[in-house]
Structure 1
Amino acid sequence: MTTTDTTTSTDYAALVARLDLPTKVRLLTGATAFTLHGEESIGLSPMAFSDGPTGVRGLKFTGGEKVALVPNATLLASAWSEDTAREVGELLAEEAERQQIHVVLGPTINLHRSPLGGRLFEAYSEDPLLTGRLAAAYVNGLQDKGIGACLKHLVANESETLRNYMNSVVSERALREVYLLPFEIAVDEANAWSIMAAYNDVNGVAATEQDHVNNVVVKGEWGWDGLLMSDWYATKTSAPAALGGLGLVMPGPDGPWGEALVRDVESGAVPESVIDEHVCRLLRLADRVGALGGQREWPATSLAPDAPERRAQLRRLATDGMVVLRNEGDVLPLARDTTVALIGRHAVDTVCMGGGSATVNPPHQVSVAQGLSEALGDGVTVVDAVPVRALTLPARTDLVRDPESDEPGIRVEHIDAAGEVMLAVHSDDATVTTGWDDDLPRPTEVLRLRAVAAAGGQTRVGVSGTGSWVLRVDGDEVGSVVLTAEGADPGEAVLKPPQWTTDLDLAEGALVEAELTIVRSEPQPGPDGKVSTLSHAIASGMGMKGLLLEEVPRPLDEVLQDAAAAARDADVAVVVVGLTPEQEGEAADKSTLALPGEQDALVRAVAEAARRTVVVVNAATPVLMPWADEVDAILVVGLPGQEGGYAVADALLGVREPAGRLVTTWPAADGAAPAWDVEPTDLQLEYGDDTFVGYRGWHAGRAATPAFWLGAGEGYGAWEYADATLVEDTVEGDGPQTPRLRVSLSNTGPRPSREVVQVYFQPSEDDEPVRLVGWGAATVDPGEGTTVEVETDPRLWRRWDESANAWSTLQPGGELLVARGLGDIRARLPLA
C-alpha cells in the first residue's frame, strides 16, 4: 500500500520561475537548526523538522517540551509486524501534529552489518527485506496523516567511527542487493517524501555528492520525486553537492551553499536548471505537508504523551517486541505469589532510550524496579548492584533540586559578554546544548549550572562539555579544568563530550555551582585534512554541556555479597543487565560485545546463590552471555521507552506475551561474525562480506556458529509444524519466480501464543547467500492449530549483474527453508 499523496496539480516550475537566483538558493539551506525558510511571494510557509525515529523531539536538542518516548527501533522490529510499524508511524504523526512539525527525520534503515555499530539501536535489522517492509509501513503511517517521513542515511552508513571522513568501499552488487534495497522498498511501497544523505563517502564520493546513487538510481531508475536533504553538517562542497543530487543543506542558516552556490550558477559551474529542480522538489514536499499555498491547520486538541491511552499503547508496543531466548522449566511467566529478588543497576536505572539524535525529553521513564514492585508489592526486594557506566551520569532528578524553583533538576543561566543573564531556565536532565538551537539575542559567553544536593554523603561531582570550567560548592572552589574534545571526529564534542569529576563528602542542601566560560578557537582540519562546517561550529563553542553528580560506587565484593544474599532469600532472582548510551548511541561504536563493568560476575554470583535465575537484558543489540547455560531464563527487552518498567513486568508475569523474534544474529564471541571491524584503515572501510551480511554469512560458514540466529525467540508457546506446501510457483511476465507457501502449525503449549513463520530461500548458485524472502504470523490458542500463508518477495529472486550493469533473474532451483530462525529449520521445499 502506497501513501496517499496529498499534493495538488500545483505548477511548481511556475512558482520557481517567479523567484530570483539568490532567493532560490536561500531556500535550499535551513533557516535554523531544524526549520526551513518560507517565501511569502509564492505562498511558502516555513517548515519544521524534528529528529525521530522513536520520538518527535521538537525543535530543541535538549530541554524541549515533554514528548512520548517510543520503544527503540530494534525492539519494535522484533514484533516482525508491519501493522506495528504502521501504528508507530501513526503515533509519531500525532506527536508531530501536536508540536506543529512537518517532517519527522526517520525511519533509520541502515543495516546491522557489524554488531559493533553504535547506532544499530535506532535501525531495524540486519536483513534488508525485513527492514524495508517495516520502513514502508512506518512511512505510510506517518504520511497518511500528512506528516513527511525521511529515510536515513543514504547509504552504506552502518558504523559511527570517523563517519564524517570514512569511505565505505562496497561492491555495486552489494550496494544494489543489500544496502539500497530497504530504501527501494520504502520508495516503492510508501513513496517516502524525503531522504537524508549520509556523512560518509561511498566508493570515494561523498554521499551528499553521489550522482550515481542519488541521481542515477534513486531519482532516475526508481523515479523518486521527493527531496534529498543532507545529514546535519554533512555537506562538504557547493557545486559537486548540488550537481550530485542534494536538494537541501541542513542545518542553517550557514553552510557551504549560499553565496558560493550563487557564484557557481553565475559562472556556469552549476546550471540554474539544477537549482530549479531542487526548489521544485522542496515545494512538492511543502505541498504534501501543508506548507504551500496557506498555513496548515493543526489539530486543536491532541493526546498528551502521558495520557492513559498513550501510556497503555507504548506499554503494549514494548512488550510485543521482547524476546524470550531461554526458558528452562517454564520458569517464565512468574506466578503472582513468587517472591523476587530484583537485582542490578539496570533494574533501578533502566535504560529506556539510546544516545544521540534519537533522544527525547519524555514525561517519565519507568524503571523495572518501579514496574515490578507495583505489580508484586512486598514480594519484590530490590538490590542495586555493580556500576555499568565508565562515565559519570548527569545529575539525576532524585539527587538535585533547582535552587530557584525547588523542582527536581538544575537551574541553567546563559550569560552574555557584558555579564547579563539572557536566559534562566530549569533543566530536568542537567544538560544543555550551546550554539545549536539557543534562540538567544546574543551568543552565550558564560554558562552557569546550579543545583542543591538532595542528599548527603560520598558523591562524585563534575562537569561535561568543552570549555573552561570552575566548580564550586557553597561558594568555595573545589576544582577547575579546561576540557577539549577528544578523538578525530568533531561530532564527539556534541554527542560524546569530555568530562571531569572529583569525589566529595557532600552535605545535604549544599549548593553546587558549575560555571563554564565558552572557549572559541580556530577550526581544526579533520583526518582528511579538510576543515568541515561541523569543525567551524565546534570551534565556535557548540556542544552539549552538563552538571554531573552521582553516588561514589561501593566496593565490588560488598555489592556481590548483597546480591547473592538477596537471591538466596527469594523464590526467583531476576537480574537486569545491559548496555548504556555509552555503547548504544550516536558518534561512537563499540569495541566489544561484552557487558560493561562487572555485570557478568554479578550474574554468576546470583546464579550460584539463587534457586532459579532469570536474566533480563536491557540492550537493543547483541551482547555476550558467557553465563547463558547457568541461568534458567533470558528475556531481551531492548530499550523499552517511557513505560519500559511496566512493559517488562507484563512480560515477566505473562500479562502480555513477549512474542518477539530477534532482528539481528547474536555472535557467540567477539570477532565471531561475518563483518566485525568498524574502524576504517586509512579512512577506508571495506565491506568485505559483500552480500553475505549478517545471518547470510553465518549460514555460509563465514563465522563460527552464532549464539542466537536472526528470527530466534520462544515466546510462551510451543509449536509443531505439521506440513509446508508450495501453493504457487509462477513467473510474472519476465520477472523472477514468486512462490507462495502454506504452513500448518499447532500450539502445543499451555497458553495462547503468537508464532512467526519465516521463509528463507537458498539459491542453487554457490556464490549466492541464503536470504529471508517472506514471513507470516498467527496467534493461536493452546491445543489449537492454524494455517499461515507466506508470500515471498520477488525482489529477492534477482541479482545485480555487474558486467551487464543490470538486474538478472537467479537460476532456477534451490530450496525454500521454513524456519524459526536458521537455527531451527522445520521444513525444506526444493524448487524446480
Structure 2
Amino acid sequence: MKYYELIANMTLEEKASLMSGKDFWQSQDNERLGIKSMFLADGPHGIRKQAAASDKPGLNAGVPATCYPTAATVANSWNAELGQKVGEYLGEEAIAQKVNVLLGPGVNMKRNPLCGRNFEYFSEDPYLAGKMAASYIRGIQSYGVSACVKHLAVNNQEERRMSIDTIVDERALREIYLTAFEIAVKEGKTKSIMSSYNKLNGTYTNENMHLMQDILRGEWGYNGTVITDWGGSNDRVAGLLAGNELEMPSTAGETDKEIVQAIKSGKLKEEVLDESVDRLLDLIFTTTEALRKPQLEFDVEKHHRVSQKVAEESIVLLKNEGNLLPLKFGKKIAVIGDFAKDARYQGAGSSIVNPTILDHTMDCFEESGIVSIGFEPGFERYGKKDQNKIDKACALAEQADAVLLYIGLDEVTEAEGLDRQSMRIPENQIELLNAVQKVNPNIIAILSCGSAVEMPWIDKVKGLLHGYLGGQAGARAILRVLSGDVNPSGKLAETYPLRYEDTPTYHHFPGKEVSVEYRESIFIGYRYYDTVNKDVLFPFGFGLSYTTFAYSDISVNERGVTFKLTNTGNFAGMEIVQLYVGCQSQEIFRSKKELKGFVKVFINAGETKTITIPFDDKTFRYFNVKTNKWEIETSGYTIMIGASSTDIRLETTMHVKGTEAVLPYDKAMLPTYYSGKPSNISEDEFENLLGRKVPVSTWDRTKPLGYNDTLAQCQYAKGVFGRLVYHSIVFAHWYLRKIGKRSTANLIIMSVYHMPFRGISRMTGGVVSMPMVDGILKMVNGRFFKGLTHFLKERRKLIRNNKLRPQ
C-alpha cells in the first residue's frame, strides 16, 4: 500500500469515516491526519459547482462556467484531439474553481434513442465512445485533477434507474457495454469511476463482484477510486467488499457504523477497508496537490471561443438540396423559430451549466454577413398550439428568398431522470413547417436536440443542419456554417431510424417494473440496421460537406490499412474516414461490420493525402463465453473504408490466424441470432443465450413494500396512507405540467416517483436515517400509527445523536 504508515496511524472509526461524504459535494476530511476534503462537481460539458453551500442537496444553480457542447455533440466531430482540448479547458476551469473531481465524461451506450440522458453520452458505438472519452480524460487530468468516467455499467434508461435490473448476456456486456469503459481505463487512465444505480444481472453494480473485481480490478488492472452515483449505495458493506471506496453523498455517519460493525463481527476484513482507504487517499492527495498551484481566473473570452470552435467542428450537415448552402451573398433570409431567439444549447439535470456568456442567433447576424429581414417565433416552445404565431411566420416567410427554421426539442423533454415518450418533435413545430413550406419552399431547418428524432417532414425542407446541443457559443457556430465561413465536417455518432418501431430495442425499452431484457444482445445501432439491411433515415457516420472527397488505392497488411484521399471539390474541408471490419466466418454470430478505427483529415481543394489507419488489439477480437476470454477467430476478414457505415468506398480482404478457441455457441439453439435478422428474439432463445432463466419482470404485488421498491409502487400498497402518497405524487405532477411548471414536474418524476425507499435516506445526506425509513415502510404497508411512532422515535434519536457529533 502507498500510504501504509498513515493508515496504520488511523483508528478503525477514522478509516470508516473516509468511505462516505462529508456533505452533498465534499468527501470527508481529517484534521488530525492532515487529510483534506475533495470537492466533486458535475462536469461532463462544463463545471456545475453549485453556488449554494455544499451541504445543500438538489440541483442548485452553479458558479458561472463555460458551457461546452455536450458529449453527444462533440462525438459528431470524431476528433479525439478536439476532445482532449475540451478536457484541458475543463481541467483548467476545475483548478480555477477548486474542484478535485469532475464527474464525467459519460460513456453509456445509446441502446435506445429515447433514453433521456443520451445527450450526455457519446455514441451507439463503444469504440468511438471509448476513444473520445479517453481523450477527455487525458485533457482533464493533465491539470492534476481527476475525471470520473460514468456510469459503470449498462445504465441505458432513466426510468426506474435506481432499481431496474438489467439482464444482458456476457458477450454483449463485454463487447458493447464495457469496451468504452475499458478504453477509458487503459488509455485514458481515469483516476476515478462512478458506479451506476441499476442492478446488473441481479446484483447492484457497485456490489457486483464480477464487474468490480473480476473485470475492473482484475482484467483491466484498475487501481483508482470507485465512487457511487449520488444515493446509489444499497448495502454499504457489500459495496466495500466489491471495491467501492467512496459513497456519496454523506449519510451522517450511519454507514460508517455499518462498516465498523462488519469488521468487528468478522463479516469484513480490515485489510479490505485498508486497501480502499489507500486508493481513496491517493485520489485525495494527488488532486489536492494540483489545487495548491497558484491559479488565476480562467480567460472567459478565450474559453468561449474554444467552445465555438468545438461546436463548429461538431455540426452535421444532413441535407443540402440544390446546394442551397452555404447561403449566397445578398439573399434575403427570414428567421423563424423560438430557438433562434433563445438558443437550445444544453440538456437538463445534474449536467446543467450556468454559462459565462450565451450567444443567441438574433444577436449574431450582423457579423455573419447573412441578411435577415426579420424574426418570428412561429411556435410556442413547450408545444402549445398558436395559429397566430404561424400566420405571422408565414407572412414573413413570403417576403424572403429563403427561410432559416429553428426547430427541435425543448429543455424539459431531454432530461436526466426520465426518458422521452416518443422520437417526434412537437406537433406545433411540424404544423409551422408545413404552413411555411406552402408559401416558401426554400426552407433550411436548423435542428437543436441532443438525440435522434424522426423526420417524416424531411421532404418539406431543402436544407437540414443539425447543431445538436452546441453549448454557449453554438448559435454563432451555426451561422458560420450557414454563411460558408466554416465548411461543415461533423458526422453522426448514432443512427437515425426512419421510425421508432424500426429500432432493435423497440419491444424491450424501457424496463417498466423489475427488469429490462437486452434480448438484442450485440445488435444495437448500426450493428443491427446494417446486418438486417433495414433502411434508415441517416446511417451511422453520415454527414455532408461543401466539398467532395474521392477514395482510392487501398492496401492492407498485418499492421493496418492504407489508402489515398483526394479533395475533389472547390472548398478546403475535413473528412472523417472510417475503418469497418467484418468477419467472413459463419461459426459465431456477428454484426455485418464493426467500427475499428477512424481519422479526421484536413485537406485542401485538389489535394491528395495518403492515410493509414492502424489495427489494434480490438480490431479482430470477440468475447468467447466458454473460454471467458477475448479470442480471435481464424477467418477471412473484410476490411472496409467508408464515409459512413453504409457508404463503403474501398474494400479488401485479409486472412487472420486466430486463437483457435472452442466455439462458444450451439447454432441450433440460437437460430434467430444466426439468421442475419436478429429481431423479436423469443424468451426461450434469449435464455439459451444467457445460459439461465430470465427473472420475472413484474413486481410481486402481494408482498409488502421494501427498501428497493419505489414510491411509484405505493399504488399497490396495503395501507391507505401509501396509496394516498402515490395519488398525491401523480396529482402534483399533473398539476405542475398543467400550469406550465414542466421542469418542476420532471423533478418530481426523477427525484420522487421513481425513488426507491432506501433513496429517501441515501439522497438526503443524513436528514433521514434508515431506521426512519423503516417507519415510513410500516406506514405505507398498512401499519400507519405504529410506523409513525417508530419514525418520530428514530427522528428524535437522530437529532440527539447529531447534537453529540463533533462538528
User: TM-score, normalized by length of structure 2?
Assistant: 0.78
Is the CA contact 2:126–2:179 (under 8 Å) kept in the aligned structure 1? Answer: yes
Alignment of 1:173-188 (within 5 A): 173-188=171-186
Choose from 266, 278, 281 the match for 1:280.
278
Inter-partner Cα distance in structure 2 for 1:670 and 1:809: 35
- Does 1:303 find its partner at 2:298? yes
Deviates more, 1:28-37 or 1:599-608: 599-608
Inter-partner Cα distance in structure 1 for 2:388 and 2:223: 62
Going from structure 1 to structure 2, the CA distance change for 1:590 and 1:296 (only over 3 Å counts) comes to closer
Question: What residue number does 1:135 align with?
Answer: 133
Question: What residue number does 1:692 align with?
Answer: 523
CA offset digits 1:442-469 (Å, max 9, x no partner): xxxxxxxxxxxxxxxxxxxxxxxxxxxx
Supply the AA of the counterpart residue of 1:780. I
Choose between structure 1 and 2: higher strand proportion: 1
Alignment of 1:424-503 (within 5 A): none
CA offset digits 1:43-98 (Å, max 9, x no partner): 32111111010001114442332111111111111110110110011010011011
- Does 1:324 find its partner at 2:146? no
The structural deviation recorded for 1:796 is 3.5
Identity across the alignment (%): 31
CA offset digits 1:295-314 (Å, max 9, x no partner): 9424331324xx32222111
The structural deviation recorded for 1:368 is 2.3
Supply the AA of the counterpart residue of 2:358. Q
Question: What residue number does 1:367 align with?
Answer: 360
Q: Secondary structure at the match of 1:289?
A: helix
CA offset digits 1:505-539 (Å, max 9, x no partner): xxxxxxxxxxxxxxxxxxxxxxxxxxxxxxxxxxx
Is the CA contact 1:230–1:249 (under 8 Å) kept in the aligned structure 2? Answer: yes
Supply the AA of the counterpart residue of 1:90. E
Inter-partner Cα distance in structure 2 for 1:318 and 1:638: 9
Q: Secondary structure at the match of 1:826?
A: strand
Is the CA contact 2:38–2:288 (under 8 Å) kept in the aligned structure 1? Answer: no
Inter-partner Cα distance in structure 2 for 1:690 and 1:158: 14
Inter-partner Cα distance in structure 2 for 1:565 and 1:94: 48
Is the CA contact 1:389–1:597 (under 8 Å) kept in the aligned structure 2? Answer: no
Question: What residue number does 1:57 align with?
Answer: 48
Supply the AA of the counterpart residue of 1:580. D
Supply the AA of the counterpart residue of 2:30. E
The structural deviation recorded for 1:382 is 0.9
Is the CA contact 2:39–2:101 (under 8 Å) kept in the aligned structure 1? Answer: yes
Is the CA contact 1:757–1:788 (under 8 Å) kept in the aligned structure 2? Answer: no
The structural deviation recorded for 1:768 is 1.2
Question: What residue number does 1:715 align with?
Answer: 545
Q: Secondary structure at the match of 1:651?
A: helix
The structural deviation recorded for 1:778 is 1.3
Is the CA contact 1:721–1:826 (under 8 Å) kept in the aligned structure 2? Answer: yes
Runs of 4+ in 1 over 3 A off after TM superposition: 253-256
CA offset digits 1:326-353 (Å, max 9, x no partner): 1111111113422111111111122111
Question: What residue number does 2:25 align with?
Answer: 34
Choose between structure 1 and 2: higher helix proportion: 2
The structural deviation recorded for 1:771 is 0.6
Is the CA contact 1:343–1:573 (under 8 Å) kept in the aligned structure 2? Answer: yes
- Does 1:657 find its partner at 2:487? yes
Is the CA contact 2:365–2:372 (under 8 Å) kept in the aligned structure 1? Answer: no
- Does 1:346 find its partner at 2:339? yes
CA offset digits 1:731-782 (Å, max 9, x no partner): xxxxxxxx51112122122211100110101112341112100012211112
The structural deviation recorded for 1:268 is 1.1
CA offset digits 1:281-300 (Å, max 9, x no partner): 10111232135xxx942433
Inter-partner Cα distance in structure 2 for 1:321 and 1:256: 46
Inter-partner Cα distance in structure 2 for 1:26 and 1:255: 7
Is the CA contact 2:95–2:295 (under 8 Å) kept in the aligned structure 1? Answer: no
Is the CA contact 1:350–1:368 (under 8 Å) kept in the aligned structure 2? Answer: yes
Going from structure 1 to structure 2, the CA distance change for 1:379 and 1:682 (only over 3 Å counts) comes to closer
Is the CA contact 1:97–1:299 (under 8 Å) kept in the aligned structure 2? Answer: no
Choose from 796, 803, 824 the match for 2:647.
824
Choose from 599, 604, 617 the match for 1:794.
617
Inter-partner Cα distance in structure 2 for 1:152 and 1:311: 26
Choose from 600, 603, 614 the match for 1:777.
600
Q: Secondary structure at the match of 1:137?
A: helix
Question: What residue number does 2:693 align with?
Answer: none
Going from structure 1 to structure 2, the CA distance change for 1:298 and 1:607 (only over 3 Å counts) comes to farther
Alignment of 1:39-188 (within 5 A): 39-60=30-51, 61-188=59-186
Inter-partner Cα distance in structure 1 for 2:237 and 2:112: 34
Supply the AA of the counterpart residue of 2:577. V
Is the CA contact 1:386–1:597 (under 8 Å) kept in the aligned structure 2? Answer: no
Alignment of 1:806-821 (within 5 A): 806-821=629-644
The structural deviation recorded for 1:611 is 4.4
Inter-partner Cα distance in structure 2 for 1:25 and 1:157: 28
Inter-partner Cα distance in structure 2 for 1:11 and 1:320: 43
Is the CA contact 2:66–2:357 (under 8 Å) kept in the aligned structure 1? Answer: no
Supply the AA of the counterpart residue of 2:31. E
Inter-partner Cα distance in structure 2 for 1:266 and 1:818: 61
Supply the AA of the counterpart residue of 1:768. R
The structural deviation recorded for 1:823 is 2.3
Choose from 14, 24, 32 the match for 1:23.
14
Question: What residue number does 1:538 align with?
Answer: none
Inter-partner Cα distance in structure 2 for 1:381 and 1:345: 13
Question: What residue number does 1:626 align with?
Answer: 456
Q: Secondary structure at the match of 1:783?
A: coil
Q: Secondary structure at the match of 1:190?
A: coil
Inter-partner Cα distance in structure 1 for 2:509 and 2:365: 38
The structural deviation recorded for 1:253 is 4.4
Alignment of 1:257-276 (within 5 A): 257-276=255-274
Question: What residue number does 1:645 align with?
Answer: 475
Question: What residue number does 1:612 align with?
Answer: 442
Choose from 558, 564, 575 the match for 1:755.
575
Going from structure 1 to structure 2, the CA distance change for 1:773 and 1:26 (only over 3 Å counts) comes to same
Supply the AA of the counterpart residue of 1:302. E
Inter-partner Cα distance in structure 2 for 1:308 and 1:233: 37
Q: Secondary structure at the match of 2:77?
A: coil
Question: What residue number does 2:398 align with?
Answer: 568
Q: CA RMSD in A?
A: 1.7
Inter-partner Cα distance in structure 1 for 2:573 and 2:438: 32
Is the CA contact 1:370–1:645 (under 8 Å) kept in the aligned structure 2? Answer: no
Choose from 173, 190, 207 the match for 2:205.
207
Question: What residue number does 1:251 align with?
Answer: 249
The structural deviation recorded for 1:681 is 4.4
Is the CA contact 1:333–1:652 (under 8 Å) kept in the aligned structure 2? Answer: yes
Going from structure 1 to structure 2, the CA distance change for 1:170 and 1:256 (only over 3 Å counts) comes to farther
Inter-partner Cα distance in structure 2 for 1:581 and 1:717: 34
The structural deviation recorded for 1:783 is 2.0
Supply the AA of the counterpart residue of 1:630. K
Is the CA contact 2:50–2:63 (under 8 Å) kept in the aligned structure 1? Answer: no
Is the CA contact 2:192–2:227 (under 8 Å) kept in the aligned structure 1? Answer: yes
Q: Secondary structure at the match of 2:536?
A: coil
Going from structure 1 to structure 2, the CA distance change for 1:103 and 1:675 (only over 3 Å counts) comes to same
Segments of structure 2 that go 5 or more residues without pairing to the other structure are 52-58, 656-807
Q: Secondary structure at the match of 2:601?
A: strand
CA offset digits 1:632-671 (Å, max 9, x no partner): 1110001111112111111111212221000000110122
Is the CA contact 1:372–1:645 (under 8 Å) kept in the aligned structure 2? Answer: no
Supply the AA of the counterpart residue of 1:372. F
Deviates more, 1:206-215 or 1:282-291: 282-291
Supply the AA of the counterpart residue of 1:135. A
